[in-house]
Structure 1
Amino acid sequence: MTNQVWQRFLAISAVVCLLFLAACSSGGGNNDAGTGAKSEAGQNKTGENGSGQPEQKEPAAAEKVDPFGKYEPEIVVETVKATETNVKFAPGQSWDSNIWFDLIKRTLGIQIKNIWLAPAEGQQFEQKMNVTIASGDLPDFFEVSGSQLQQLAEDGQIADLTAVYDNYGSPLLKDLLDFDKGISLSAATIGGKLMAIPKPFGYSDTQGFIWIRNDWLQKYGLTPPEKLDDVWQIAQTFVDKQAGGAGTIGLPLRKDLEGDLGGVDQMFNSYHAYPRMWVKGQDGKLVYGSIQPEMKEALGKLQELYKSGIIDQEFGVKDYGKVCESALASGKAGIYFGGMADPLGCTSSGFQKEQADWVPYKLVSNDGKPVLSQAKIAPPSYYVVSKDAKHPEALIKILNLFGDVGFGERSKETHQDYNPLYFSQVGDTPSANFHVMPFVVFLQNKNVLDHKDYMEYLKDPAGYAFQETSDKQLFENMDAYLKWKETPGQPVDQTIATSWAYYMIFGPVSTQAVIDEAMQNNRYIFDEYLGPPTETMKQKQALLSKAEKDMMTRIVMGSASIDEFDKFVDQWRKLGGDKITEEVNAWYEARK
């Protein structure tokens, strides 16, 4: 389905991580009908219903409730939302008024009100959320990071969702949240209580790629890379030949050195280095990846590439948008390290502009050992409920509905609520789709299954039996690209560019094809620390992370020698790193 592609593209995000908390003792009653008087925002925060009587208590666990029960009269829930610059709205729609909000109001009797919006880029949302948390004036439901969750739980500002989730969660929602056998729900549990609903993260799509313009490879008689030195030679050739015209960029990076396009994690992984992760050391204990010797080797190579002019000399002032514009949209770059859903972003602009033939290749190393892509299993973020919210179960109902629209009965064309625009753009009709939703849940690691299904479909399109309506839409979308290819020389409109993007994600030669092989051969390495921020992390992590980022940037740009890495390691250990390592391993041992 296209759902997972869009989830990964967010964030990119995320996306931050985009995507839980607490049941309090007052719910919607046996018939799930909210009857409370409302404040200015419409939400009942008085503890009484419309007749002045106390709210009904949460139904007992044995009592049956309707996971989709509608509130009559309707209730209003306040929230906040991280916005994405790439989202395009149909006429008359916005972050505050859209087809999703209409569906939730019509189906559940819940009106969602955004108190404020903030861009996801540059941690603007997280920073504004910190200010909101400090003020104590919290919305009813909102998304938080792991450290924010821990703080809110310790301060008693959020509700316990254990009973709410047990009573109101639909079977489908519980299946979706238990895809990792309870790891995500465990991460949201504090002191034995479910203090949040996790935004689980399917690890498969974290695989890294080397994106290369095949048309440039063929033009200069080059072959796909088999080892890392081949990658550098390809980039060097593109620069020497000025393949993209004057100012050709050999290897684009961005100033924060993180993320897909312009990030360096994939390059580090090719040297068997794993920054910002806790991995098993030779003695079986957890060690911090950013201070291991493999990092020094990778940084030394990046410094060499920068000095030789291969790496973009202006990367230190470029964010994601600038890299997109200066390297890909402009046609100046022909190779970069990136992510699974890149064709839905900047890469498609190059295809639409000059039919740039971008192809994803698997990561390679120089020593012949398989490259393991780093991945985190712990949720990137969580949904929590203010302790003052009078309808905590409404969050669960919203998630029930979202899951049903994406993967349940409402995903079928025969259902009265079916609408493909909830998750996809159809033709040239712009759709912000699920990006407008402050609360989402997805079927994890499904993209690779869709790739496999598409490969079966290609064997006999006419006789293929579709299992899901969304698969039919996706496959027909990719077929439009194949049909377009039959007549060379045609212009590329937005519809074809989108079809090409899906084909490069799900087709025979695609990111999901690489992911399929990676999953079969276990080419992933996971962050072993799944716990909340330790006490020393809370005090020192911001300082240590900044020192790490500064060290990397200075070394790559040559303003510091490679020996700066050793100084950083010593500094990291003395400024709290050793204590954090001790705390992380104490947690790890307790889990065994």
Structure 2
Amino acid sequence: MKANFKMVFSVFAMTSVLLTACSGNPSAPNTDSSTNSSNKAPNASSSADTGKQGHTPEEVTGLVKYDPPIELSTVRSTDVNIKYAPGESMDKNAVYDAYEKELGIKLKNDWVVNNDQYDAKIDLSVASGEIPDFFKVSQLQLKKLVDADLVMDLTDLFNNDLSDDAKKFFTETKQVDSAKFDGKLMAIPFTDSPTNSSTYIWLRKDWLDKLKLPEPKTMQDVLKIAEAFSKQNPGGADKTYGLAAQKTLYAADFGLTGFFNGYHAYPGTWIKDQSGNLTYGSVQPEMKTALKQLQEMYKAGLIDPEFGVKDSGKENELVTANSLGMAYGAFWLGSFPLKMAAIKDKKTVQDWAVYPIASIDDKPAMTQVTLGVNAYYVISKKAKNPEAIFEILNHYAQPKRDPVYDKGVPNSDYYWKLNPLILYRPDLNVISGSVLPEALKTKDTSKLTTPDALQLYEDSINYLKGDGDNWNNWMKAKDGGTLEIMYDYSQQNRYLQNEFYTVPTATMATKQSTLDAKELEILTKIITNQAPIDDFDKFVTDWNNLGGDLITKEVNDWYSSIKK
């Protein structure tokens, strides 16, 4: 995994999910400006312009290098997919070496644990008050750190030290707002694109053509397709089902979120009601309408009777056996689990197509999306060089970085995972979806301005040449692929954002898990006809009485506060 430093940085830019910015770090409360003045990078704009302690303005890709080098401490979790070269580890590797060489920043891990131990280890560190300069936390851990006054207020650093290009990663959405407490920015979000959580209809195009069925433009079409796939058995299996489902009803892989959205129901999401207040989507009347239809489909044999005890991998066994031909899922469903059924020995054995979610009426179906924040990066109040983290952010947010692919770097797909700070550009896949289909038609790549788009293009060309291993990326990049639909969703204003995006309210912290379990239980019973449809009304009453009413009040109190 050893490589020269320019090669390493070019690999950061090329990661297929990763955007032009691969590293970044966030936050927490501190108004003590003295923390921003010591060993300051000369080109980082800030009100504190003294105390640079020997820095020279050596430019590195438009930025500067700390001279002498500074040290930043952090903590890490391991990733089983990272394959280290001999002599390398999470503590010493080409990525860490590159930071030191290019930016004069030495990265030191205070500890490294397995992924499944990370949260517990962070909780212990927070409880003891012994924390490194910067590290990744969950939203609940962020609140604990803020309450304990252990992390720095990043408002001034964000405003003064972050480049305009880097700010675009945060200001185009409400992601930064989710890290604010009393108006102070206490963390930098570990960003992902909200649009990546959108939903699509996946179905067997060869079955559709065989049965001479229309493409799914309406929910009526979806229901007709589900019935035909089940009753007419186009795959020749002993038993065929019309629609995939799994035990986690709202999962991104074989879940039913997109089906509910087709009835203008938005489970698990806070939406605006007619009065402009926030209300919980799972307890709205539209949910009952969709549930009634799912119950009818289940009774008619269109849904796997065992879905309630299956995850997506087990449900995909029906797909592999040609017993299932339609599912709702995310843009990456072609990577997992569908690819395991569609591709055998690098050859396509199932012809799948993807479509936008359909509506039950003449009102467009909105696809509900999350905020797109996976975690948060915080900075200790004791950190001596918090601005250095923003230097890293600026380095990776440069829009005109040379999108060169270096095929000579071993294990290049994993380099970005060694970064202690990772960001994804919010509009990456939307941009790719706007240009890739045309590029694949014309073979003109001049409009493919991101490394990600170029990689998807190359993989798609390889698929067309016969390499079935690239089918999943072809399903994203092609004409009518998921990324083009993602772009179309954005042009048609069909994204519905969760309006509640701050830390859980007090009642959520104690009641939400119980309410969620009750929701899953009763909805599953209704779908599987173990409970009558009118039990949904009882569920709504119970939900309110068991804490939902109080949660709704707390949510709207917060919502009123941010509108002031």
- Assess if the C-alpha contact under 8 Å between 2:14 and 2:455 holds in 1: no
Q: Does residue 151 of structure 2 align to residue 158 of structure 1?
A: yes
Equivalent position of 2:210 in the other structure:
219
Deviation at 1:19, TM superposition (A): 9.5
1:343 pairs with 312, 329, 334, which one?
334
Deviation at 1:566, TM superposition (A): 1.6
Q: Which amino acid aligns with 1:143?
A: K
Q: Does residue 138 of structure 2 align to residue 145 of structure 1?
A: yes
Deviation at 1:187, TM superposition (A): 2.3
Distance across 1 between alignment mates of 2:418 and 2:13: 16
Q: Does residue 41 of structure 2 align to residue 6 of structure 1?
A: no
Equivalent position of 2:5 in the other structure:
none
Equivalent position of 2:180 in the other structure:
189
Task: Compare relative contact order (CA 8 Å, sep 6+) and give the higher one, 1 or 2.
Answer: 2
Moved more, 126-135 or 333-342: 126-135
- Assess if the C-alpha contact under 8 Å between 1:30 and 1:59 holds in 2: no
Deviation at 1:269, TM superposition (A): 0.5
Deviations for 1:73-116, whole angstroms, at most 9, x for unmatched residues?
Answer: 56352323375x7x464765776666544433443432353734
Deviation at 1:206, TM superposition (A): 2.9
Taking structure 1 as reference, are residues 565 and 467 closer, same or farther at Cα in structure 2, changes over 3 Å only?
A: closer
Structure 2 spans left out of the alignment, 5+ residues: 1-11, 58-62
Q: Does residue 435 of structure 2 align to residue 453 of structure 1?
A: yes
Deviation at 1:439, TM superposition (A): 2.1
Equivalent position of 1:49 in the other structure:
none
Q: Does residue 296 of structure 2 align to residue 304 of structure 1?
A: yes
Distance across 1 between alignment mates of 2:294 and 2:123: 35
- Assess if the C-alpha contact under 8 Å between 1:329 and 1:349 holds in 2: yes
Q: Which amino acid aligns with 1:103?
A: A
TM-score, structure 2 normalization: 0.81
Q: Does residue 554 of structure 2 align to residue 572 of structure 1?
A: no
Q: Which amino acid aligns with 2:542?
A: Q
Taking structure 1 as reference, are residues 178 and 546 closer, same or farther at Cα in structure 2, changes over 3 Å only?
A: same
Distance across 2 between alignment mates of 1:129 and 1:334: 43
Distance across 2 between alignment mates of 1:82 and 1:330: 36
2:230 pairs with 236, 239, 244, which one?
239
1:251 pairs with 243, 246, 249, which one?
243
1:163-174 alignment runs, 5 A limit:
163-166=156-159, 168-174=161-167
- Assess if the C-alpha contact under 8 Å between 2:39 and 2:385 holds in 1: no
Q: Does residue 469 of structure 2 align to residue 497 of structure 1?
A: yes
Structure 1 spans left out of the alignment, 5+ residues: 9-17, 34-57, 485-491
Equivalent position of 1:210 in the other structure:
201
Moved more, 505-514 or 382-391: 382-391
Q: Does residue 386 of structure 2 align to residue 392 of structure 1?
A: yes
Equivalent position of 1:370 in the other structure:
364
- Assess if the C-alpha contact under 8 Å between 2:18 and 2:452 holds in 1: no
Deviation at 1:197, TM superposition (A): 0.4
Q: Does residue 549 of structure 2 align to residue 549 of structure 1?
A: no
Distance across 2 between alignment mates of 1:585 and 1:447: 33
Q: Does residue 555 of structure 2 align to residue 584 of structure 1?
A: yes
Taking structure 1 as reference, are residues 243 and 101 closer, same or farther at Cα in structure 2, changes over 3 Å only?
A: farther
- Assess if the C-alpha contact under 8 Å between 1:61 and 1:163 holds in 2: no
RMSD: 3.6
Deviation at 1:440, TM superposition (A): 1.3
* Aligned-partner SS, 1:344: coil
- Assess if the C-alpha contact under 8 Å between 1:244 and 1:333 holds in 2: no
Taking structure 1 as reference, are residues 366 and 185 closer, same or farther at Cα in structure 2, changes over 3 Å only?
A: closer
- Report how many aligned residue pairs link the two structures: 528
Equivalent position of 1:277 in the other structure:
269
Deviations for 1:376-426, whole angstroms, at most 9, x for unmatched residues?
Answer: 34734311123444443443344334435xx453x443xxxx74799xxx9
What percentage of aligned pairs have identical amino acids? 33
- Assess if the C-alpha contact under 8 Å between 2:235 and 2:322 holds in 1: no
* Aligned-partner SS, 1:295: helix
Equivalent position of 2:111 in the other structure:
115
- Assess if the C-alpha contact under 8 Å between 1:277 and 1:289 holds in 2: yes
Taking structure 1 as reference, are residues 531 and 350 closer, same or farther at Cα in structure 2, changes over 3 Å only?
A: same
Taking structure 1 as reference, are residues 466 and 285 closer, same or farther at Cα in structure 2, changes over 3 Å only?
A: closer
* Aligned-partner SS, 1:224: coil
Q: Which amino acid aligns with 2:360?
A: N
Distance across 2 between alignment mates of 1:127 and 1:3: 32
Deviation at 1:225, TM superposition (A): 1.9
